[in-house]
Structures are given as C-alpha cells and as structure tokens.
Amino acid sequence: RASTSSTLRGLGEALRRAWPRVTVPGARTIKEIDTAKTPFSVMDVYGQNELEKLLQNRTMRPPFEVALLRLTLPVEGVWECQGGHVSILRDGEDLVYVDAHRWVSAKLLPPEDSARMQNFLLRGRLQRGGEVLLRFPTSSEVQVAFRLGPQEAFRTFTANRLPQEKDHLSNFSFVLIQCYHSFGDGFCFSPIASDLFRIYNALDHGDGDPEIHAFVYSNRDGVADAM
C-alpha cells in the first residue's frame, strides 16, 4: 500500500508539472479510495508462459488502461537437472545462483538488455566474465542459459523442482500501460493547442496578455482524487 501511495503521488506531481494550466485536487488516503475505481487493475500469474500468454491475448479497455502484472514464483531451493543440480538461495535481500558442479555463483538481478528481458527473468554475472540467464516457464521449471567466459557460446539446460507448501514466494511486478495512439496524442495536444491559439489571437488583435484559466484535471472514476 505504501508503494502504491508513493506511485500515485508521483503521477499526480508529474501531471501538475506537465503544463501550467493543469491542477490536481488534493489526495485522499488509499483506504478511502474505492478499490473498484483505482486507476489500475492487479493480475496474478505463476509462470512466464502464463505472463506472456496474458500479454498476447489481453484486450485493452479503451481508450487507456494501466495494469499491474504480479508474477509469483517459488524460485528459492534446489533445482534438479541432468547430472546434478543447481540452487537458488537467499542472502539477505539478494537471490544468489549456485552451480556447485561448475564451481560458479552469481547474484541475480533483472536483465539490463531489453531484448533479453523479453525471454529471461533473472541474470547473474559469473566469475571470469561469465554470465547466467534464467527463465521460469512455470513454477516447477527453470531454463538456464550460461557461459563461463565472455567469448564462449551460451549453453543451456532445464532444471525442475516440485513446489512445496512452505516455499518462500518471490514476487516480480510489471506495469502494463496501453492506450490508443489518438488518445495519447490528442489528450495532451488539445489544451496546449488551445492556449497557443488564444495567445496568438490576443497578440494579433492587440489585446495584451491573454487570460489563461486553470485546467482542472478531474475524473468521474476517482483517478484524480487518488493522485
């Protein structure tokens, strides 16, 4: 809730600063907001296959929609693979990949390369310039791509483990923003264009400084109040 409140305040501040005529009504606490009228929906998925299928088949509610996609996985534990196993352990706030067979380990972070982010959930830097990439198609399977040196080609294998009732679950959140191109352009363009035309006409007729009134951002669904 605290993270959501901070995000909404940030969005409200961005709207206020976007154009001098935009003002946003005072904020209310999250507890006072009807959850059915929040500016985004929350959807839970339990594997990258399910996440990608949802993204491919999701129909947007026009003209603009924001959704929080929450991927929940039991990533921590021992994953069995052909010829041995690999482990994903927690060290404080960090997730650590350990391959005892190859004597390598790495702290896991999201991929920095946007192209790799489309396929892999986590990435780690191995010793001697190596690299490991992890993809979780389901909650019981991880696909591992690795190389032990920067000049080596990637090698791959699959590891599995059965989720347990007492598993610690890790959440990975993604924000999906969809809108019509015409809405994204027109919603911003209209007030700016009207101001420019008003200023031009005032100067053209020698009327001095034009009167620019505040444009109050409001929404019947309570988005502005949430901000």
pLDDT digits (tens, 9 = 90+) for 152-202: 999 999 999 999 999 999 999 888 878 777 666 666 666 667 777 787 788
* Phi, psi dihedral angles at 133 (to 5 degrees): -125, 135
Which band of pLDDT confidence, cut at 50, 70 and 90, is reported for residue 223? Answer: very low
pLDDT of residue 22: 43
As a dihedral over the C-alpha atoms of residue 173, residue 174, residue 175, residue 177, rounded to 10 degrees, the angle is: -160
CB proximity list for 32: less than 8 A, separation 6 or greater = none
pLDDT of residue 98: 96
Report the mean per-residue pLDDT for the chain: 78
Which band of pLDDT confidence, cut at 50, 70 and 90, is reported for residue 213? Answer: low
Residue 116 has pLDDT above 80, yes or no: no
- pTM for this predicted structure: 0.65
pLDDT digits (tens, 9 = 90+) for 18-43: 544 444 444 444 344 444 555 567 88
> Distance of CA 145 to CAs 5, 29, 38, 208, Å?
38, 45, 39, 67
Asked whether the beta carbons of 139 and 159 are under 8 A apart, the reply is no
Q: 122-125 and 141-147 as β-strands: parallel, antiparallel, unpaired? A: unpaired
pLDDT of residue 161: 96
Any idea which residue has 């901000």 for tokens?
227
Query: What does the longest C-alpha to C-alpha distance in the chain come to?
Result: 85
